[in-house]
Copies of this chain bind each other. A is one copy, B any other.
């Protein structure tokens, strides 16, 4: 059971525990609403309870775990309503990023986006939903990056981390990639055309569609 990774020198124990825990939660190794007992985690990661504690406080700030005073921590479960609310926020923030990216991105970066677009088309045509899901992530990440809007990037990464479980469920839905790919291509085209308004509209339209899909 011991999941011990090397406590390599120079790496602070707390950051070690933080990385391990975050990875475990994001990787889906923790069941939803699972209790996170400080002592168990400390032994599992080979660090002291204080380090685990600090990591848990950090993760609570990121919204990945829920801490109740004197009653411990657990993996936070995101209801469908919350997922919708989160995606609404993503909608406007990614719209902002797309608009800024349309203005700020270099020509090389626009080429990168185009390449991801063709790869996405291929993945859908080949019927590889997992590949598509990865490209999806990559595309959104690159658009965020190219916008140069650091604050929005941080907010979006925080929000995205809370959606791991829902995203999984969504990308495996039959027919979903086929619809989604066109919306993504529209975003890419608008950004490559350096049209901020169109980029914002395309990003919003895409995430509005995601919201519809989330609601089933």
Question: A residues engaging B (CB < 8 A)?
Answer: 12, 15, 50, 53-54, 57-58, 60-62, 69, 82, 85-86, 88-89, 91-93, 95-96, 149-152, 155, 159
Question: Can you sample 6 A-B contacts with CB below 8 Å?
Answer: A12-B69, A53-B54, A57-B61, A89-B152, A89-B155, A92-B96
Contact status A85-B155, CB under 8 Å: no
Contact status B53-A88, CB under 8 Å: no
Q: In the complex, how many angstroms separate the beta carbon of A197 from the nearest chain B beta carbon?
A: 13
Main SS at interface, chain A = helix
Number of copies: 2
Q: How far is the CA of A82 from the CA of B150 in the complex (A)?
A: 8
- Kindly list chain B residues whose C-beta atoms are within 8 Å of the C-beta of A93: 89, 92-93
Q: In the complex, how many angstroms separate the beta carbon of A106 from the nearest chain B beta carbon?
A: 20
- 5 A-B pairs closest in CB distance: A61-B61, A92-B92, A85-B151, A57-B57, A92-B96
Question: In the complex, which residue of chain B has the Cβ closest to the Cβ of A95?
Answer: B92
Residue from the list B15, B54, B58, B151 in contact with A88, Cβ < 8 A? B151
Q: A58-B57, A61-B62, A69-B12 are in contact. Are A151 and B86 (CB under 8 A)?
A: yes
- Kindly list chain B residues whose C-beta atoms are within 8 Å of the C-beta of A58: 57, 61
Q: In the complex, how many angstroms separate the beta carbon of A116 from the nearest chain B beta carbon?
A: 24
Known pairs A60-B61, A82-B150, A86-B151 / 8 extra A-B pairs, C-beta < 8 Å: A15-B69, A53-B54, A58-B61, A85-B150, A88-B149, A89-B155, A91-B96, A151-B159
- Kindly list chain B residues whose C-beta atoms are within 8 Å of the C-beta of A96: 88-89, 91-92
- Kindly list chain B residues whose C-beta atoms are within 8 Å of the C-beta of A61: 57-58, 60-62
Q: In the complex, how many angstroms separate the beta carbon of A17 from the nearest chain B beta carbon?
A: 13
Question: In the complex, which residue of chain B has the Cβ closest to the Cβ of A96?
Answer: B92
Most chain B C-beta atoms within 10 Å of own C-beta, residue among A69, A88, A95? A88
Q: In the complex, how many angstroms separate the beta carbon of A78 from the nearest chain B beta carbon?
A: 10
- Kindly list chain B residues whose C-beta atoms are within 8 Å of the C-beta of A15: 69
